[in-house]
Structure 1
Amino acid sequence: MNLVDWDFAVTVGSRIAGPGPDVSPDEAAAAVLELREGAARSTPLVGDYTGLQTRPGTAPVLVVDRPGWLRANADGFATILDPIVAKVAEKKGRPSPFAEAIGSRVTGAEVGLMLGFLGSKVLGQFDPFFAPHGRLLLVAPNIVHVEREIGADPSDFRLWVCLHEETHRVQFTANPWLGDHLLAQMQGIADTIEPSALLDGLRRGAEAIRGGNGSVLDLVSSPEQKEILDRVTGVMSLLEGHADVVMDGVGPTVIPSVKQIRKKFNRRRQGIGSLDKLLRRLLGLDAKMAQYRDGAVFVRHVVDKVGMEEFNAIWTGPETLPSKAEISDPDAWVARVL
């Protein structure tokens, strides 16, 4: 049973995202090469700073265009939503082929609309759900667009992005249980969402793009769902904050213009115009920005108090991860775990 026509979602999303900035073939080739080299260079830098060790090449690093990112995320969403599809088929049986084709295409268009907006924004992403050990995606057109937009030195900015994204690759590959834990939480949310609510939420998301209100997070409403979401929020705040701390810790040693990049990038994170503000509200990206900020405060507080080696107890297993409440109260995590 097909809840979403993922191929159609990618097609729609690619049209929304567009191809990206104009670059010559030589400029494109140079950017791809520099990003690959930046990711490889970042691996030992992240390992030395964090104490987390992973074998080179454990998860592939892919430099992709916008459609490539869209396809990867469509595949990831399909993995998460498989339990819902199976549950629907078990409870209600399969719809007629015609109804299934029409319904999945409509939903595919709605998903594609949202992915298309994100596909023009995301600089990089670690995909922990790609077998067997995940993969790191670096979105070359978006990186080039932002470095031009903020007037950054291209080589410095590309390495800076690689440090952040490579930290995510190291987090997951040095702690193989982490991806399984996160997938279990995402599937837990999916299992508690009724198909009608899921479809309604996707439609609300598409309508919000056009009308200016609502959020995909409106999907999560029951106490059980909110409990799972709180756990996911704690994990994501940790991962994003940890990556920001690493890039700020390593950056000054290898990136001459890092202070200027950070200042300009932080300003950009606040949003540029009404469309960005709408997108953040629609997809809950205001909460995403809070994850960077709150997670970084948490990591810095704990590391300053106990050191990086003791902090790394956080990667022992699900039970040592911080809760959403502990992200705001790092001393409570220290008391509970250390």
Structure 2
Amino acid sequence: MIVMFIPIHQLNLYNTKERIKYSDRWEPINGGEEAYKLVLEKIRNGAGEDFLQKEYEYGILKDFLDDMYDLRGITITGEEIDFPKKDNFENMDFSYSHFYHSEFKNGYFRCSFKFAKFHKVTFHNCIFHNNVWLGAKFEKCKFINCDFIEGCKLINCSFSNTKFKHFFTEENLFSDCKFNSTVNIEEPVTYFVAHKRSKKSEYNYSFLSDFYNSIRQAFKAANVYDKERKYFFKSKQAGTNHNNNGLIDYLYKKFLIELLTGYGIKPFRAFGAGILIITVFSFVYYFNLNSISQSFLTSVSAFFTSGDYPASFFLDYKILYVTEGIFGWFILGLYLTTLVNVWFSER
């Protein structure tokens, strides 16, 4: 059973009372102004591992946060931060948080962003390590030169006008998400981009089929059928190239399914194959008939099995004529089946 995108407010883990509680605590009217300024200043200075521990245990955050990793409900807006090359946000909880009109460079995130909202936010040269987004919303955001490593997951997230450009991943990032027509996802690169501390020697291509299929499902959830078809094809193609059961299985899928039908969504591939067959057989018939027009008409007649072969044909040409008819039945069947599949499956 395929699970599709669920409206975020209907998710079982979404709690309106918690969202209000954690968001309101940062407001000046509720006494959160001093704590907010302190946390924001530490983030501007690069955060770091356990960067709130001292203030949580002995300072003004002691009775304000639930624990030293608790940044739930915080709002960050209008920031442009270039983080130092170290661990910046390890085990931090940004659930129900809001990020607006900001740019983060060279950051390291090992966090939880459950039900967070991002609007006009750019992540540049950032590392996301075992990072989890659940029910998050992205609008006009960019992920540029970023690495998603070791268990990163975007689960049931909503994206609009968001771009993933020149990024690395070797796992399926998306699960039950929703993309509108303005979302653009480039091909993942096969090497680390931001993770300069180590190099990737081998790349596991086997996940790509599921990766593209999850993108396909995300576009389908928003009824963006042109891009849904695009990633359906890429998913099937990746499965053929990287998850086949040997040479025979690869050749069968590559030539009979991919090249002739585009995995059932490209009917004009079969149409083109039909034109090629008619042209080739016309060329062969010319050596017997010595007439371009007659050779072409004979080939068309054979392809559609709409007539008898010319009286001048020798036995070899008669066999070719029947063979072309068999090819014609096969190609016409593929063409019509694929065309109907596209018309009636919203693809």
Larger RCO (CA within 8 A; separation ≥ 6):
1
The structure that is helix-richer by fraction is 1
TM-score, length basis structure 1: 0.19
More strand by share: 2
Greater Rg over alpha carbons, structure: 2
TM-score, normalized by length of structure 2? 0.19
